[in-house]
Amino acid sequence: MTRSAPLMLVCIILAPLSNNGFAQTYPTDDPVIREIWDLGMENSMTRELAHELMDVVGPRLYGSPGLTAAEDWVLGKYDAWGIEAEREEYGTWTGWESGILHVDMVEPRVTTLETELLAWSLGTDGLVEGDVALPPADLSSENVDEWLSTVRGKFVLMSAPELMCRADQELEANARPETVERLEADRRAVFMDWNTRLSALGGFSDRTSRLDSAGAAGYLTSRWSGGWGVNKVFSASSREAVSIDVSCEDYGLLTRLAESGHTPRLRVNAQAEFLGDVPTFNVIGQITGSELPNEYVLLGAHLDSWHAATGATDNGTGTITMLEAMRILKQAYPTPKRTILVGHWGGEELGTIGSSAFREDHPEVMEGLQVAFNQDNGTWRFERIEGQGFLASAEHLPKWMAPVPTEIASQVLLEVPGPQNNAGSDHTSFLCAEAPSFRFQSPYDEYRQYTWHTNRDTFDKIVFDDLAQNATLAAMMAYMASEDNVRVARTLTNLPLSQRTGQPRSWPTCRPARRSAN
């Protein structure tokens, strides 16, 4: 059944946090809420857990030994805390492991470049030297074969260079308006020019194929994230030659030298190994319900990450939030009314693969789901919980938030029933089945610019006061949802109008989980 309902915003503004540590104002005498606060805010383990996951285990690329090590680590924590947990296999993926990468420019002068290997790239056979090849300004379908005959053994520049590697907000704050306007116009012109050049090689999927056939030694790309020293680093499109991301600054250097006739020469040592098809898993933990064991509260966060950094805010902080929430709940609420599950999902970065597989493999959980809470972005405190288009969210979310100490609750906006913002993370794997699935949302702007899928997503970006608070709130919301005497109804609201069609957006539909790389 679908009903139309107005969007409601519930925002409780109360006293600010005391300057003297983690003070609290309890709106309830509930001893479980008080113990959750004590365990989560006064005796947090988030810093220790984050150090072990980010600094010791490190990157957790899908299909890599790093993700396997992270799964082992999570299982070890749950075992030590007396929480039942296991791996659930659901498919396979291309196994890959990277090692040392070193890229030096040796001509026209010597310097070491800041680089990252793209995921699932080939390595080199030891040290390889080659010149940098610049697609010429007049490259066209008429002369492309002639140019291709010159690229054998060379490292080809494949991205448009940035004219300035300075954050836009700093230009807007300090430069003349006409300077900002001119730089943006010049930037658009450079990108259009490069698109024209590379179009001579065909569509995106054809470019590396033609260069592979021509014997290129490797590919240099740069996907600047708009901030100081930050690139977004994804996967390789070639399986024939090494693919390397180069920092905004160094990529610009190589381009300018090539354009001026001072052709750069590189010396590259890249270690990488393909491991064949490897099994893929979710890690599922459980505290079994005492009264309603076949009804479920599901906490979730994806465990996999991209590989250029250590995945601290995407999604190490989400992982730690849910891991710590389960530790707290095991001590403060060991016999829940409903079963409390936690899912440490695999393959979110490749398209919510693990959580979608869980939905397909566990129809009993979907049928019995009271609510799911997922967390997938950033550091900073939770600022918003959206009802994701469920009419009953207006009844339950404020009720569950009511006993939360005001120092936390006053900072959280409840947006109910909600327009279904922020699609694309694991909560959508359950929304499509019309199962109540909500997202703990932290601020986005800095996350998108500086840590989301970048080479700077590391331990030092975590704000541990906020991480402790997030884990505490997750535990409190799980407790309240488990104890609620009323099941969350699945009545759907009409979603807002689509800007593209002018018609109400449709409810998301479930896509089959992709269970292999093939």
Per-residue confidence (pLDDT) for residue 14, from 0 to 100: 38
Please count the CA atoms within 13 angstroms of the CA of 176 that sit on its side-chain side: 3
Confidence of residue 16 (pLDDT cuts 50, 70, 90): very low
What are the domain boundaries of the chain? 2-94+277-493, 109-263
- pLDDT per residue as tens digits for the range 229-263: 999 999 999 989 999 999 999 999 999 999 999 99
**Mean pLDDT score across all residues of the chain:** 94
Q: Are 130 and 107 in contact (CB under 8 A)?
A: no
Does 13 score more than 70 pLDDT?
no
Three-class DSSP category at 344: strand
- pLDDT per residue as tens digits for the range 288-312: 999 999 999 999 999 999 999 999 9
Out of 3.90.1580.10, 3.50.30.30, 3.90.1150.150, 3.30.750.210, the CATH code matching 109-263 is: 3.50.30.30
Confidence of residue 2 (pLDDT cuts 50, 70, 90): very low
DSSP state of 246: E
Distance CA 64, CA 282 (A): 14
- Residue 104 burial (10 A CB sphere; 0-12, 13-18, 19+): middle
Distance CA 176, CA 178 (A): 5
Does 3 score more than 50 pLDDT?
no
Distance CA 479, CA 28 (A): 14
Confidence of residue 505 (pLDDT cuts 50, 70, 90): confident
Considering 111-115, 204-208, 374-378, 422-426, the range whose residues carry the highest mean pLDDT is: 111-115
Per-residue confidence (pLDDT) for residue 455, from 0 to 100: 98
Pick from 387, 373, 377, 370: which is nearest to 336 by CA? 370
What's the CATH number for 2-94+277-493? 3.40.630.10
- Terminal alpha carbon distance of the chain: 38
Distance CA 135, CA 195 (A): 11
Per-residue confidence (pLDDT) for residue 503, from 0 to 100: 86
Distance CA 208, CA 158 (A): 9
The whole-number average pLDDT for the span 360-376 is: 98
Pick from 55, 62, 186, 175: which is nearest to 460 by CA? 55
Does 116 score more than 90 pLDDT?
yes
Per-residue confidence (pLDDT) for residue 271, from 0 to 100: 98
Question: How far, CA to CA in Å, does 325 sit from each of 23, 94, 227, 292, 343?
Answer: 20, 32, 33, 20, 12
Confidence of residue 9 (pLDDT cuts 50, 70, 90): low
Per-residue confidence (pLDDT) for residue 444, from 0 to 100: 87
Q: Are 348 and 426 in contact (CB under 8 A)?
A: yes
pTM of the model: 0.94
The whole-number average pLDDT for the span 107-124 is: 98
Buried b (16+ CB within 10 A) or exposed e, 452-490: bbbbbbbbebbbeebbbbbbbbbbbbbbbbbbbeebbee
Pick from 400, 417, 420: which is nearest to 409 by CA? 400
State the amino acid at position 111 in one-letter form.
T
Distance CA 479, CA 4 (A): 30
Distance CA 132, CA 265 (A): 6
The whole-number average pLDDT for the span 29-49 is: 97
Task: Copy the structure tokens of residue 160.
Answer: 């448009």
Per-residue confidence (pLDDT) for residue 499, from 0 to 100: 82
- Residue 164 burial (10 A CB sphere; 0-12, 13-18, 19+): middle
Task: Copy the structure tokens of residue 367.
Answer: 């049928």
Q: At what angle do helices 464-483 and 393-401 cross, to 10 degrees?
A: 120
SS (H, E, C) 154-201: CEEECCCCCCCCCCHHHHHHHCCHHHHHHHHHHHHHHHHHHHHHHHCC
Per-residue confidence (pLDDT) for residue 8, from 0 to 100: 54
Question: How far, CA to CA in Å, does 118 sit from each of 8, 181, 229, 311, 455?
Answer: 44, 33, 17, 15, 11
Residue keyed to tokens 């849910």: 322
